[in-house]
Structure 1
Amino acid sequence: MAFIPTLDLAHWTKGTPEQRKQFAADLGKAYTDIGFVTITNHGFTDEMQAKLYSEVETFFGQDTRTKRKYEIASLAGQRGYTSFGREHAKGIPAKDLKEFWQVGQPEPAYNGPEYHDNVHVDERPDFAPTCVQAYQQLEGIGLDMLSAIATYLELDPDYFQPWVKGGNSILRAIHYPPITEDPGDSVRAGQHEDINLITLLMGASAEGLEVLNKQGQWVGITAIPGALVVNVGDMLQ
């Protein structure tokens, strides 16, 4: 973990003026040098994570036919289910060895008609509400991070708020099923850049996540338990 700095988000959300200033400076340096940071004391509770993981695990444990009921072509994968092997990284033809579910804002009418409604799962009535609850908690953490980034950039701490309030952020729950046959050129997720402002990665405590450093080396990243890995995307790069 020496490659990615670990910062205490409570120093920003509950800290003294000196702690907030130092947090913003450390965050800005990490994003300038690396593009990634690990945060602790972020406020996403163990209870919420356990509840989310339980619902997600149960959903993905259903048979393929049931899951594909919620793969709705008109939503283009922006909401609901995307089946195994359907997605691939930009410029890489090999399919990713994963399936996933996506959740967005719970009140699309507030955001505008261009945003899709979330998909509800008949077999799991608590699944969608749990995902939305987790989404809202994580969105709040993201807003805290953007506020610190704005401060580092010598902007008003609320600079990003009008641009992201009610925006099209997405919570993606990913399942990587066991590989039972030769995957060929496919990997779990092909190398890619994130196109958004920032990404919050939960569950990066397992091996597999790699970051390309400025020396052209791929470095494996494993976060400490309970921490979130937060990286900047193309919109901030």
Structure 2
Amino acid sequence: MKPEYVGDGGVATVSYYAPDAPTRFTDSLHRTGFAVIRDHPVPRDLVETIHAEWLAFFEKEAKHAYAFDRETQDGYFSTAVSETAKGNDKRDLKEFFHIFPGGRYPAEVSDAARRYFAIAGDFAGELLSWVEANTPEDVRARFSMPLASMIRESPATLLRVLRYPPLTGKEEPGAVRAAAHEDINLLTVLPASNERGLQLLTRSGAWTDVPTDFGSLVVNVGDMLQEASGGYYSSTTHRVVNPSGEAARRSRIALPLFLQPRPEVKLSERHTAGSYMDERLRQLGVK
């Protein structure tokens, strides 16, 4: 069976149960920085519950009681303190809540997001094992330890519950929901959102939509895997564009799980995971 590709991006959509899923998944990450998994074990109804609960939470004033902490980086980030993508001068049009193992968690929602964190985290460890098993031996030799071991019991792995608010027409010119950027971590695991808008930059320099059928998982390479692999895996530039028409009046919810190694894990001769993260957070203006 040949991989299913989308447009110029060449992103493979792989069934979790296909016998060759690990090789096709890893090949797509190597070629494009992205892959999509369907028929996976992460419960769709759990994702739907989180979307509903947290959409209601972001509409409440109670969210401000959890204002983010610059040192721990957990809690609520309003649109006023949202990220500014590296090389950009306008803040993204989004608000979000950072959930870390042992970090703050709002009393106004159920434990659904915590349960998702645990389930998706276990599945992500399997995906990292797929990557390692299908990486060329000379590249694999660069890893200071097995990739799945890098995130085991990591206090830095992060679930971001993210809301892109409806557009009002009063946004600053040039501001977008998420400006072009690369992720910091090893891999990002993202349930396809309730709204379209995620795009990646292809090697030919064109923007193309990432397949986002609700119920599938979008996985992409982060800077830390690029660093650890000596560039064999590329951290692909991506963005979330502003919608038009009726979609502009709806919120967009996203649940990216950022797989981040323990701070002391060695990525390369020049960086540990902790030193790399500190450098990037300062560039983003949130530390």
TM-score, normalised to structure 2's length? 0.68
The structure-2 alpha-carbon separation of the partners of 1:205 and 1:175, relative to structure 1 and needing over 3 Å to count, comes to: closer
Contact 1:205–1:222 under 8 Å retained in 2: no
Provide the residue aligned with 1:72 in structure 2. Answer: 68
Whole-angstrom CA distance in 1 between matches of 2:47 and 2:187: 20
Show CA shifts across 1:41-71 (max 9, x none).
22111221122112211211213xx221111
Q: 2:183 aligns with which of 189, 194, 197?
A: 194
Question: What SS class does the counterpart of residue 50 from structure 1 fall into?
Answer: helix
Provide the residue aligned with 2:267 in structure 1. Answer: none
Amino acid at match of 2:106: V
Whole-angstrom CA distance in 1 between matches of 2:194 and 2:96: 19
Contact 2:99–2:105 under 8 Å retained in 1: no
Contact 2:53–2:109 under 8 Å retained in 1: no
Amino acid at match of 1:169: T
Contact 2:54–2:109 under 8 Å retained in 1: no
Provide the residue aligned with 1:176 in structure 2. Answer: 164
Whole-angstrom CA distance in 2 between matches of 1:101 and 1:39: 25
| Aligned positions of 1:19-30 closer than 5 A | 19=19, 22-30=20-28
Contact 1:85–1:96 under 8 Å retained in 2: no
Whole-angstrom CA distance in 2 between matches of 1:220 and 1:49: 22
| Aligned positions of 1:48-67 closer than 5 A | 48-63=46-61, 66-67=62-63
Show CA shifts across 1:172-195 (max 9, x none).
111111122132121101110111
CA offset at residue 75 of structure 1? 4.2
Whole-angstrom CA distance in 2 between matches of 1:85 and 1:96: 9
Amino acid at match of 1:171: L
Percent of aligned positions that are identical: 28
Work out whether 1:165 is the aligned partner of 2:152. yes
The structure-2 alpha-carbon separation of the partners of 1:202 and 1:103, relative to structure 1 and needing over 3 Å to count, comes to: same
Whole-angstrom CA distance in 1 between matches of 2:109 and 2:206: 45
Provide the residue aligned with 1:98 in structure 2. Answer: 94
Work out whether 1:130 is the aligned partner of 2:115. no
Work out whether 1:204 is the aligned partner of 2:211. no
Contact 1:84–1:98 under 8 Å retained in 2: yes
Gaps in structure 2 of 5+ consecutive residues:
227-287
Contact 1:8–1:40 under 8 Å retained in 2: yes
Show CA shifts across 1:129-184 (max 9, x none).
2221111111112111101001101569x922321101111111111111221321
| Aligned positions of 1:105-116 closer than 5 A | 105=101
Amino acid at match of 1:7: V
4+ runs deviating over 3 angstroms = 72-76
Whole-angstrom CA distance in 1 between matches of 2:99 and 2:70: 15
TM-score, normalised to structure 1's length? 0.81
Q: 1:233 aligns with which of 222, 229, 234?
A: 222
Whole-angstrom CA distance in 1 between matches of 2:211 and 2:24: 20
Contact 2:200–2:207 under 8 Å retained in 1: yes
